Each structure stands twice: as structure tokens, then as C-alpha cells.
Amino acid sequence: MKRLGLSGNYAVAYAVKMADVDVIAAYPITPQTTIVEKLSEFVANGELEAEYINVESEHSAMSACVGASLTGARVFTATSSQGLAYMHEVLFMASGLRTPIVMANVNRALSAPLNIWNDHSDAMAERDAGWIQLWVTSAQEAFDATLEAFKIAEDVLLPVMVNLDGYIVSHTYEPVVLPDEGLVRGFVPSRPLQNRVSPKFAYSIGVVGPPEAYYEMKYQVVDAIEKSREKIRDVDKEFGERFGREYKFVNEYMMEDAEYALVTMGALTGTAKVVASGLRKEGEKVGVLSIRCFRPFPKEEIVALLGDLKGVGVVDRAVTPGGPSNPLFAEVATTLYERGSRPLLQSFVAGLGGRDVPADDFKSMFGLVKDVVREGKSRPCIYVGLRE
């Protein structure tokens, strides 16, 4: 193994290279561009033997990925923000056709106004597209999750989206441990999948699904993503045995005896942990629960870790205008709803469009969670850091 200083984007590119992909279809968009630039460099230098397809749009990139995947190729692409939104139509085709595509989505706010900084509105807008979603908090996790994504995708025949926060993870350089490529090939062997568009097989791809058939065909995606839970756990366990870093659906921090907790996702987690550590020194029983696998949603883990707490704050970095709650809060609240006793929940929105979320804001959120427990009633969603 070797240790390099890599950005989150470069960490993803190295993982894709080591996974020995066959096809890369790419269109540049900030802050994702350096992933596919680095991959084009690997291909041009002969370090990666892959077909690199320069396309005219993100819609075409995903379309090319679907076609290549159906031939049995191992496929990768990357995008951000408006690029992911432009893929919207084809994302549902990718899952419905059961294509094991891996895509890095470098999270960036959706326009308007035009914004190239980080929040989670792009991925949340596609949360019902039938893709498995993994979320990372560091460059090392970006590398590891990308490797895992190929194994998961090809075993369950569903596409996987690896989400990393724009700039905060994508452009920050950190020490990243890169295993020997031979070890990686042992974990993700180069094995062509079945060519489902070959004339040798009697497959029909992209057919019309009338009412008599559509329901059952769509349910196959629902069933597959539910059944993927066990495979994701198995892959996490195997990755830990091979490389010494084991992951779970959720990452818990100081949750053993916590009475209050914040639920986070992505790069905000680091600051939340620092604040929780400080509050622990003051005698406060607080913890942090970070969601790593958003789809399928970690229902069992949420109930086990949050069900007996007094109060829980859920921090969204995206909004659902006109809805009863925001994306991550809605998932947590729904999961806990059927439990007889459950903690009081408080919804927070923070960091839209790349707005900083400093330690004082997290300290305030922990305090507000205690306040709602004391009052015995949750407050309407609190928009942290919003200027009056």
C-alpha cells in the first residue's frame, strides 16, 4: 500500500482506475470536472485501458453509460448539480433496465440563482430514481466507497451514486491510503457481465410497459433495492477484512449513552463531531449519527440508535418547498413514526448554496434540541444561519 495526498476527486479517479473500468462517458461540470480529467489522463498515458467517450451533454453521458452497461461493460461517469438534473430522464432508465453503472456525484446547489458551491439539492432531487446512494465525508471514504460501489452494483444489478460534497471533499487534499492494485482486483475482479444486447440472446430492452406489465416491472427495482441491504453489509464487511477500514449504513459518534443527537449527512459531520466532543467535556450527553447509505435508507439502524433518545435534530442541506418537511428529516421521522415511544424531532436546514456552518451553529442546534424536549413540543423547521 502507498499513501498519497489526494483531493476527493482524484481519490475517486484512482479508485475507478484500479477497478479497471471498460467505459467512461463524461461531460465536464464544476466541481466534478477534475475526476474525468484525471481519468482522461490515465487513459491517454496508457495507465488505464478503457474507452473514453467525450459526449455533448450529461444526458448523452448517462445514455452512453446505459448502452455500454447493457453490453456487459464496467461503466463509470461523474457529474454535479445541473448535470445530474439534465440526466434525470435517463437515471430512471438506468435503474429500470438494471444497469450496474457507478457515478460520482459531486454535490452542488441547483440554480437559480447560479451557484457552484455545495449543498445536497442535486442528489435529493433524484432520491426516487431507483439508485443506491452512498455518501462520504473524506477523500479516503470517496476512494473506498467508489470501489465498493462497483461490487455492489454488479452483484445486485442496480446503479450506484457516490456522493461527495463539492469543494469541501472534492477539492480538499488529504492523505489517502491506496492499496496495491492486485488487492483491489481481488476485491473487484475484472469480469464482464452478460451482454444483454447481443443477438445471441432473446432479450428485449427498452420495450413499452403497458398497464398490464409496468407495475410488476417497476416493482422489480423496489424489490432489488430492498434486497441490496444485505449485499451492502456483506461488501462493507469484506472490504474491512481486506483493507482494514469497515463501513456501515450509518456512522455513530458518542452514541452509546447519548440522550440528544444530531443526524447529518456528508461533510458537515466533521464539525458536528468536534462540537459534540466539546459538549461532552461540559457534561452534555450528546452524539452524532451520520447517514452513509441514504438509499436504501437505514431503517433498522435509525430505530436502534435513535429510538430511545430524548431529542434528535435532523440537519438537512436541501429543502422541499411547500412540503411538510425536508428530505432527510422526512426519512428519519417516517422511520420512527411507527415506534410506540420515540424522541422529539427537530428539523434544521443549514448550509444551502455553500453557506458556512460554523461550530457555533452546531452548538446552537444541540441547544435547541434540548429546548424542544424541555418544552415538550417540536418547533417549525429552523433555518440555521439565515440572514433576516
- The Cα–Cα gap between 311 and 301 comes to 17
pLDDT value at 202 more than 80: no
pLDDT at 274 over 80: yes
Same fold, 2-243 and 250-383: yes
Tell me what the mean pLDDT of segment 116-138 comes to. Answer: 98
- Model pLDDT, residue 83: 98
Residue 275: partners with Cβ closer than 8 Å, 6 or more residues away: 359, 362, 363, 366
Fold of 2-243: Rossmann fold (3.40.50)
From residue 64, alpha-carbon distances to 24, 34, 98, 330 in Å are 9, 20, 15, 34
**pTM of the model as a whole:** 0.97
The interaxial angle of helices 327-337 and 299-306, nearest 10 deg, is 70
Q: Which fold has domain 250-383?
A: Rossmann fold (3.40.50)
> 289-302, pLDDT tens digit by residue?
999 999 999 999 99
More confident residue, 1 or 274: 274
Render pLDDT for 32-60 as a digit per residue (tens, 0 to 9). Answer: 999 999 999 999 999 999 999 999 999 99
Domain ranges for the chain? 2-243, 250-383
Residue 388 reports pLDDT greater than 90 = no
338 vs 41, which has greater pLDDT? Answer: 41
Confidence of residue 307 (pLDDT cuts 50, 70, 90): very high
Q: Which helix (H) or strand (E) holds 383?
A: strand 382-383
- Per-residue confidence band for 332, with pLDDT thresholds at 50, 70 and 90: very high
Q: How far apart are CA 331 and CA 145, in angstroms?
A: 22
Residue-level pLDDT at 334: 97
Classify strands 382-383 and 344-349 as parallel, antiparallel or unpaired.
parallel
**Residue 131 pLDDT > 90:** yes
Mapping DSSP to helix (H, G, I), strand (E, B) and coil, where does residue 203 land?
coil
